């Protein structure tokens, strides 16, 4: 692995669009600077063997053609909302998509900021769960899937939930379970394409 110069060298690793704390993910990407050219397959196997169980490196490619960060245009999220009726969520989503602007507040490093949570949301849909609650524990669980464009300041899943609270007074009774399913470039159809199709010289991009 390559390191920076100076009195306190650091490994040359950069992470693309880090997920918020407490969020699960199935689509993380990173760039690693190396001191010499290596086989991407061998690097993937070595990294995978060194990581904890459950953290799997799926792909590694030699990077060419620009920064990985510049190719992360959007992310696909799943939000599970235990205790929320899917029909109630559906009505809230209808109100959300009908709005031209939804202002929410969040504390950032620069202090409390107000921004639009609606404009960055490309698609938002209620997914009906295939799981049927048992008779003993008949608790509804609404599932929300959304594709959010990468903007500044970033619009996170909790910002979208704040937007649903603004437009429909939706207040989940327990903390949601959030998972990032994909991130990458946007197609003309609004889908997300793998950002590893193009990389950058002198580094290796790994997806895990």
Q: How many residues does the chain have?
A: 208
- pTM exceeding the 0.85 threshold for the entire prediction: no
Please say whether the beta carbons of 55 and 207 come within 8 A: no
Give CA–CA dist 47/181, Å, rounded. Answer: 21
Element containing residue 111 per DSSP (H, E): strand 111-116
Segment 154-173, tens digit of pLDDT: 899 999 999 999 999 999 99
In this structure, of 37-51, 62-76, 168-182, 192-206, the range with the lowest mean pLDDT score is 192-206
Give CA–CA dist 64/197, Å, rounded. Answer: 9
Segment 24-37, tens digit of pLDDT: 998 888 888 899 99
More confident residue, 186 or 164: 164
- The residues near 164 (Cβ < 8 Å, ≥ 6 apart) are 89, 92, 93, 95, 96, 170
- pLDDT tier, 203 (very low <50, low <70, confident <90, very high otherwise): very low
- The residues near 203 (Cβ < 8 Å, ≥ 6 apart) are 12, 31, 32, 33, 34, 63
Q: In the predicted model, is pLDDT for residue 92 greater than 90?
A: yes
pLDDT at residue 138, as a whole number: 61
Beta-bridge partner residues of 148: 75, 121
Please say whether the beta carbons of 78 and 178 come within 8 A: yes
Segment 55-80, tens digit of pLDDT: 899 888 887 767 777 788 899 999 99
Please report the domains of the chain, with CATH numbers, ordered by start residue.
Answer: 13-70+194-207 (no CATH), 71-186 (3.30.70)
Q: In the predicted model, is pLDDT for residue 200 greater than 70?
A: no
More confident residue, 45 or 129: 45
Segment 1-16, tens digit of pLDDT: 899 988 999 999 888 7
What's the average model confidence in pLDDT over 136-141?
Answer: 65
Q: In the predicted model, is pLDDT for residue 188 greater than 70?
A: yes
Q: In the predicted model, is pLDDT for residue 202 greater than 70?
A: no
Give CA–CA dist 14/94, Å, rounded. Answer: 38
pLDDT at residue 189, as a whole number: 79
Give CA–CA dist 74/191, Å, rounded. Answer: 9
- The residues near 42 (Cβ < 8 Å, ≥ 6 apart) are none
Q: In the predicted model, is pLDDT for residue 187 greater than 60?
A: yes
């Amino acid at each position: 692995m390559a390191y920076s110069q100076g009195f306190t060298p650091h490994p040359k690793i950069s992470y693309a669009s880090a997920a918020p704390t407490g969020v699960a993910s199935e689509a993380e990407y990173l760039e690693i600077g190396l001191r010499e050219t290596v086989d991407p397959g061998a690097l993937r196997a070595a990294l995978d063997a060194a990581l904890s169980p459950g953290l799997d490196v799926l792909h590694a490619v030699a990077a060419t053609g620009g920064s990985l960060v510049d190719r992360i245009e959007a992310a696909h999220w799943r939000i599970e909302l235990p205790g929320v009726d899917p029909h109630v969520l559906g009505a809230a989503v209808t109100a959300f998509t009908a709005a031209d602007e939804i202002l929410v507040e969040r504390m950032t490093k620069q202090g409390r900021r107000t921004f639009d949570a609606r404009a960055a949301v490309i698609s938002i849909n209620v997914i009906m769960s295939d799981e049927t609650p048992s008779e003993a524990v008949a608790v509804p669980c609404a599932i929300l899937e959304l594709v959010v464009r990468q903007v500044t300041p970033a619009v996170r899943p909790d910002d979208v939930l704040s937007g649903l609270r603004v437009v429909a007074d939706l207040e989940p009774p327990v903390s949601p379970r959030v998972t990032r399913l994909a991130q990458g470039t946007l197609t003309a159809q609004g889908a997300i394409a793998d950002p590893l199709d193009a990389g950058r010289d002198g580094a290796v991009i790994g997806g895990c």
